[in-house]
Amino acid sequence: APFPLSVVLPDSSPFVPPLHGAELREIVPDCRLRVVPGVRHGLPFSHAAEEAAQLAAWLDAVDAA
């Protein structure tokens, strides 16, 4: 991809099914897709510290590439 893209989805959202992430990865094959198990809608709020750490690690990897 000409730009870094990270997609993080909960696996149990009643609004955004993981299939949407798979479809996006077909359009942007180099994107990072991470589906978080056992989580419903509101992932950035319910798992804020964990997601912030995951995002920081991914951004560090992008910067290092």
Q: What is the pLDDT of residues 21-41, one digit of tens each?
A: 999 999 998 899 999 999 998
Q: For the chain, what percent of residues have pLDDT higher than 90?
A: 78
Residue-level pLDDT at 29: 81
Provide the 3-class DSSP secondary structure of residue 34: strand
What would the two tokens of residue 26 be? 């077909």
pLDDT at position 1 over 90: no
* Cα 62 from Cα 44, distance rounded (Å): 21
Q: Where are the domains of the chain?
A: 6-64
Share of the chain above pLDDT 70, in %: 98
